[in-house]
Structure 1
Amino acid sequence: MTKIAGAPISWGVCEVPGWGRVLESGQVLGEMASLGLAATELGPPDYLPSDPAELKALLAEHGLGLVGGFLAVVLHDPPRVPSTVEEADRVAALLAAAGAGVLVLAAATGLDGYDERPALTDEQWRTLIQTSAKIADVAAGHGLRTVLHPHVGTHVERAAEVERFLADSELQLCLDTGHLLIGGVDPVDLARRHPDRIGHVHLKDVRAEIAEEVRAGRLGYTAAVQRGVYVPLGDGDVDVEALVSLLREAGYTGWFVLEQDTALGDDGPTDTPVRDTTRSLAHLKKIIGKG
């Protein structure tokens, strides 16, 4: 049985300051449940309750499970390692208490947002690898797996960085079809070459012409989202069917998390997330039905 989940970012809920309108969690979870999604990811820090009992109660109210949570933290700066590991421990404990199974880690730059990305030295890269391993050990102590999420505007974004991480680290990846494509990585090719390193999946579809603008540095990531770089599955340039079929043939049994990064205007409509997620869900189910 294919496991399909949602994520608050599809409803415009993001940790980036000034990203856009943030809907109440009850509305977001209720709409996820109304679409028949089985579970959600945690969303930005403290968007959902940080108390395990309150979080479990809120999820149960909507009949949803918890898949895991995204944690973008600075991994490359030695003075910040203790606080980074401490934050990962806190988040992992919350996830585990609420029944989640995976910590989705990203190598944050330390800057707000995802529009700038300073280069790392080799020593900073080694610290990044070591810190991610420490976090994986901490999460394992709570019964969680840790996956590294190549993500636009982080220190693991482009093809060379993804390959370097795979070579230097034992962690599996969160295969995010959208962020990989924007970073210049073919997600289908990556899954074909490294099927054993795919530990979690975020399904997005992307308009390649806008992705190229971001990759070339002519358009910031936030502006790209506002321009509609992400579209419902099947409407963009990611070969979602090939990817899903390949992963299933390779024995992937984890979650497929529907994510369509969205920024809602303060005065605009709020029904777009439900409409777009409905289309993505229908497209995914059609693919699964062919299997």
Structure 2
Amino acid sequence: MSATIRVAAAPISWGVCEVPGWGRMLDAPTVLGEMAELGVQATELGPPGYLPRDPAELRALLGKYDLKLVGGFLAVVLHTEQEKALAEAEESAALFAACGGDVLVLAAATGLDGYDARPQLSGTEWATLVETAGQIRDIARGHGLRTVLHPHVGTHVEQQAEVERFLADSDLGLCLDTGHLMIGGTDPVELAKRFPERVEHVHLKDVREDLAAEVRAGSLGYTEAVGRGLYVPLGEGDVDVASMVRSVQAAGYDGWYVLEQDTALGAASPDDVPRRDTERSLAELAKIVESL
């Protein structure tokens, strides 16, 4: 499989999240060790403070597990307080680049804790969001990184109309996150076919449409839905992952496929759940690649 596509993982698949009260978090040696044991080649960074922010320390830690750094997720408020967003982007981009990463995965945070609510933006605020994203792209480019916009539940680019509006108003590439797109009402397979040249990074998820529909309708909070099993191993949900992979491969995509299944571990959740689910996803992805 590694000869055909590049596969990475992310700490969120082990329940490691920046949202206060999200759930129990496993320690970094456990998470990175299990990634390595499963044959994953690289990882995204995870939330600020989980892995070292000192480049030498981070390189040494990843090297211990023979993992590369893909880059990382940066959820910042883009529609106001530009200087703060740009400062955070500068710090993250410098760290990613110093440790061999090549992509900054940007999300348009609301400024609220978590992803369960989001206020509406004015036209002026939307224009500021697009402008700030472009400035972050330039900062990252100065460090040799690409910046991709990540449509994400509970951010200001979530629903299909917002995704298409951003693609029209900005020249940033897209993080094609199969789960968040579907929850937001966008068919990731169709989006990949319509905008193949904009797909510059891929997060692979599978989701249960019954729970996704409740989140979309506002009758179920995102955090609660994750706790109830919104995300499932690849091939066990309602996203047509195989068609999406075939589509982007046919369009010439040669970037990372990041297994990034949002997971929340409760007090009674067995520690082996993340490893088991990631192993099942890897097995399904291997089947998909063999069929290409």
Asked if TM exceeds 0.5, the reply is: yes
Alignment partners' CA distance in 2, 1:102 and 1:14: 19
Task: Output the amino acid matched with 2:112.
Answer: L
SS at match of 1:247: helix
Which residue is equivalent to 1:247?
A: 248
Is 1:55 the counterpart of 2:47? The answer is: no
Is residue 149 of structure 2 the alignment partner of residue 148 of structure 1?
A: yes
Which of 1, 4, 7 pairs up with 2:7? 4
Partner of 1:45: 48
**Map of 1:70 onto structure 2:** 73
2: CA distance between counterparts of 1:278 and 1:269? 15
C-alpha distance in 2, partners of 1:279/1:259? 13
Q: CA deviation at 1:268?
A: 2.4
The residue number in structure 2 matching 1:168 is 169
Secondary structure of the residue aligned to 2:46 is coil
Tell me which of 22, 28, 53 is aligned to 1:19: 22
1:35 to 35, 38, 45: 38
**Whole-angstrom CA distance in 1 between matches of 2:7 and 2:85:** 30
Q: Distance in 2 between matches of 1:236 and 1:159?
A: 20
Give the Cα separation in 1 of the matches to 2:260 and 2:106.
16
**Structure 2: gaps (5+ residues):** none
Equivalent residue, structure 2, for 1:290: 291
Aligned residues with identical type, % of pairs: 67
The one-character-per-residue Cα deviations of 1:172-204 (angstroms, maximum 9, x if unpaired) are 110000000000000000000000000100000
> How far apart are 1:265 and its partner, in Å?
1.1
Letter in 2 for 1:40: T
Residues in 1 aligned to 2:43 and 2:185: alpha-carbon distance in whole angstroms: 28
The aligned counterpart of 1:215 is 216
For residues 135-186 of structure 1, give each alpha carbon's deviation from its aligned partner in whole angstroms, at most 9, with x where no partner exists: 0000000000000000000000000000000000000110000000000000
| C-alpha displacement of 1:266 | 2.2
C-alpha distance in 2 between matches for 1:217 and 1:140: 37
Aligned counterpart, 1:206: 207
In the alignment, which residue of structure 2 is the partner of 1:122?
123
The one-letter code of the counterpart of 2:181 is L
Q: Deviations over 1:86-137 (max 9, x none)?
A: 0100000000000000000000000000000100000000000000000000
Count of residue pairs brought into register by the alignment: 289
Correspondence 1:110 to 2:111: yes
Residue 83 (structure 1) shift: 1.1
- CA distance, structure 1, for counterparts of residue 8 and residue 202 of structure 2: 10
Q: In 2, distance between residues paired with 1:207 and 1:4? A: 23
Q: What CA distance in whole angstroms lies between the structure 1 residues aligned with 2:75 and 2:208? A: 25
Aligned equivalents of 1:83, 1:7: Cα separation in 2: 25
- Give the match for residue 231 of structure 1: 232
Taking the aligned partners of 1:259 and 1:229, their CA distance within structure 2 comes to: 13
- Residues 47-102 of structure 1: CA deviation (Å, up to 9, x unaligned): 1100000000000000000001000000001xx11111001000000000000000
Letter in 1 for 2:25: V
Aligned-partner residue type, residue 45 of structure 1: P
Render the CA deviation track for 1:20-45: whole Å, top value 9, x for unaligned: 00111111000000000000000001
- Distance across 2 between alignment mates of 1:265 and 1:287: 31
Which runs of structure 1 show a deviation greater than 6 angstroms over 4 or more consecutive aligned residues?
none
Counterparts of 1:160 and 1:2, CA distance in 2: 31
